[in-house]
A = this chain, B = another copy of it.
């Protein structure tokens, strides 16, 4: 198959290298700063021409531009769309709705690979490991026996809480349903109610938020023990009131895009596998 990988971070680089090593024809653009020994980064026009599948990054866009952190050049989504021809297929992560509409109106199929559970899970696993690395690096105490609160029991919350417990931390997970409480306790973790954390927050060495909602506002931040680390893993707008944290002297970190930073090989491989799954299902459907 013929793939074009356009833009993205080290995950895109590793993805491109793995596609080549799997025997596919590959062209790449807007990745020149990675200085890969395996492929050359050429112009978007040349890279896209003749490709069957155009692979965009995760996330694909920042504002209205393609995300190109490893390039000195930029390209708008509108301009990018103009380079793609009917019959080519576009695969990207968190594709903006307007961009997908534009493509489809022009007869170009497009697929958001981040909507696939198999990718979001692997992404969550890499995020959980990245968060663990931050906690190990930043906390002045060992994680063994450290009291840690994880807010939210979605994919990242589940995986992070299990890893923390495996390292001997004293882990509490907060959630909002009876079913989640039962899961949390059945996995050997302590459960709390995200809506009723007041009065309990002073005992933690670290609080990790995974919920994209305003769960750590000023009143709750005020309760944290001196030195408690507040780590936000939620995508924008995040869940921590950072200005309040700054005012109160709470150490708060917002860690975004961890998979690309801490595990680009694993994360690139996960994107590759997901793309293969999408393509094989398309072919079965035909």
Q: Which residues of A contact B (CB under 8 A)?
A: 10, 14, 116-119, 121-122, 124-126, 129-130, 132-133, 136-137, 139-145, 159, 162-163, 166-168, 177-179, 181-183, 185-188, 262-266, 270, 274, 277
Contact = CB atoms under 8 A, between A and B. Distances in A.
A188 B129 CA distance: 12
Given A122-B186, A124-B186, A129-B167, 19 more contacts: A117-B177, A117-B178, A117-B179, A118-B181, A119-B182, A122-B185, A126-B142, A129-B136, A129-B143, A130-B136, A132-B136, A142-B266, A144-B187, A145-B185, A145-B188, A162-B162, A166-B166, A168-B188, A182-B270
A14 B266 contact: no
Most chain B CB within 10 A, of A125, A130, A163, A265, is at A125
Contacts of A263: 139-142
Given A162-B187, A188-B167, A129 B142 contact: yes
Contacts of A126: 142
B262 A178 contact: no
B121 A186 contact: yes
Contact of A186 (B14, B133, B144): B144
Contact of A129 (B118, B122, B144): B144
Contacts of A178: 116-118, 274, 277
A136 B143 CA distance: 14
Nearest to A261: B137
Contacts of A14: 140
Given A122-B186, A186-B122, A265 B140 contact: yes
Nearest to A10: B140
A187 B116 CA distance: 18
A168 B187 contact: yes
A136 B185 contact: no
Nearest to A133: B136
Nearest to A159: B186
Nearest to A124: B186
A45 B119 CA distance: 57
A264 B167 contact: no
A147 to B, nearest CB: 13
Contacts of A140: 10, 14, 263-266
Contacts of A144: 125, 129, 185-188
Given A167-B166, A188-B167, A121 B266 contact: no
A177 B178 CA distance: 27
Contacts of A118: 178-179, 181-182
Contact of A265 (B117, B141, B181, B270): B141
Most buried by B among A129, A141, A142, A263: A142
